[in-house]
Amino acid sequence: MKVVLITGASSGLGAEFARQLDKEVSGIDEFWLVARRKERMEELAQELTHPARIFANDVRNRSLYECLEWQLNEECADIKILVNNAGCGFNGFVTEQSSEKLIDVLDINCTAMTAITTLCIPFMKRGAHIIHMASSAAYLPQPGFAAYAASKSYVLNFSRALGEELRSRGIYVTAVCPGPVETEFLKKSGAEKSSYGLKKYVRMEAKDVVAEAIRGAKRKQTVVTPGLAMKGFRLLTKVVPHEVILKVMRKL
Ligand SMILES: NC(=O)c1ccc[n+]([C@@H]2O[C@H](COP(=O)([O-])OP(=O)(O)OC[C@H]3O[C@@H](n4cnc5c(N)ncnc54)[C@H](OP(=O)(O)O)[C@@H]3O)[C@@H](O)[C@H]2O)c1
């Protein structure tokens, strides 16, 4: 059975990946959708032309990994596209946040993403693709969003290294690094109130971010930075020392 597997499919970018890939892909038997909000995924499944299988579970739960692995084996699954998109972040200084919240960010964005990726690779063949949802926050340490930005640096660098490791097997890995996107994330993370969220002029729509991500993945790009503003930001973080950028940001 040929499968597209998407985590964080109940809203925002994950749901948009499902909608756009549903139209783009051919020869796929099922879309497998993972997130906690079952009803949201059931509604999304109604919109899709492909049959969808719903895994309503927390990406941190071992029971999810066991269930996925069992069903992948049972169906002799061939994962054509894995979109590792589930993620969260909480705005605020490290000293003002509970350690539970900070650890949640690492568990969801890094540990669960790593667990799901390694679980899926044995079910991938030449030509398969992994898309990791990182963030442009990965490009620079972000005071006020420290754990989130650091977690996305992990996603970005893990993704780039994994892409090199899998290249000879013909499995391609793309990290997507958007700036602020109009999704529930901005509100849930509190980023709407921060400088990250306030930059209204750089905010993108989920459909545009996903379209650019899919175009980049098709071109086998290792990193996709959607939008001109964030491409400029990426360049800046490559040529100007981070200490200088952080000093300017502090003054602003
Ligand atoms: N929006 C932005 O500004 C922005 C910018 C750069 C990168 N990103 C990244 O893009 C990805 C998608 O975010 P979004 O903007 O689409 O926000 P969103 O609408 O809040 O979507 C987050 C998705 O992750 C799922 N999720 C979160 N925690 C989970 C858990 N413990 N177990 C299972 N699923 C979980 C959520 O599903 P349930 O709540 O139903 O479980 C939801 O489907 C994230 O990795 C985020 O870091 C977002």
Distance 138 CA to ligand 1 centre (A): 16
Band the pLDDT of 196: cuts 50, 70, 90. Answer: low
pLDDT of res. 199:
60
pLDDT of res. 194:
63
- Is the minimum distance from the CB of 59 to ligand 1 under 6 angstroms? yes
Band the pLDDT of 250: cuts 50, 70, 90. Answer: confident
Distance 241 CA to ligand 1 centre (A): 30
Higher per-residue pLDDT: 116 or 250? 116
- Is the minimum distance from the CB of 35 to ligand 1 under 6 angstroms? yes
Give the chain's domain count: 1
Test site for ligand 1: of 62, 85, 187, 189, most ligand atoms within 8 A of the Cβ: 85
* Residues 93-139: tens digit of each pLDDT: 999 999 999 999 999 999 999 999 999 999 999 999 999 999 999 99
Is the distance from CB of 141 to CB of 186 less than 8 angstroms? no
- Strand order of the β-sheet with 30-35 is 52-56, 30-35, 2-7, 78-84, 129-133, 172-176, 223-224
pLDDT of res. 187:
86
- Is the minimum distance from the CB of 142 to ligand 1 under 6 angstroms? no
- Is the minimum distance from the CB of 10 to ligand 1 under 6 angstroms? yes
Q: What is the CATH number of the domain that holds 6?
A: 3.40.50.720
pLDDT of res. 201:
72
* Residues 160-194: tens digit of each pLDDT: 999 999 999 999 999 999 999 999 999 888 877 66
- Is the minimum distance from the CB of 175 to ligand 1 under 6 angstroms? no
Is the distance from CB of 17 to CB of 52 less than 8 angstroms? no
Instruction: Give bridge partners of residue 6 from the DSSP assignment.
Output: 33, 83
Inform me whether the pLDDT recorded for 198 exceeds 70: no
Separation between Cα atoms, residue 224 and residue 194, nearest integer Å: 24
Q: Give the SS3 label for residue 225.
A: coil
202 lies in which domain range? 2-251
Q: Which residues are identified as catalytic?
A: 148
Q: Looking at ligand 1, which residue's alpha carbon is closest to its atom 25?
A: 8
Inform me whether the pLDDT recorded for 230 exceeds 60: yes
- Is the minimum distance from the CB of 227 to ligand 1 under 6 angstroms? no
Q: Looking at ligand 1, which residue's alpha carbon is closest to its atom 44?
A: 87
* Residues 24-68: tens digit of each pLDDT: 999 999 999 999 999 999 999 999 999 999 999 999 999 999 999
239, two tokens: 């040529």
Distance 85 CA to ligand 1 centre (A): 6
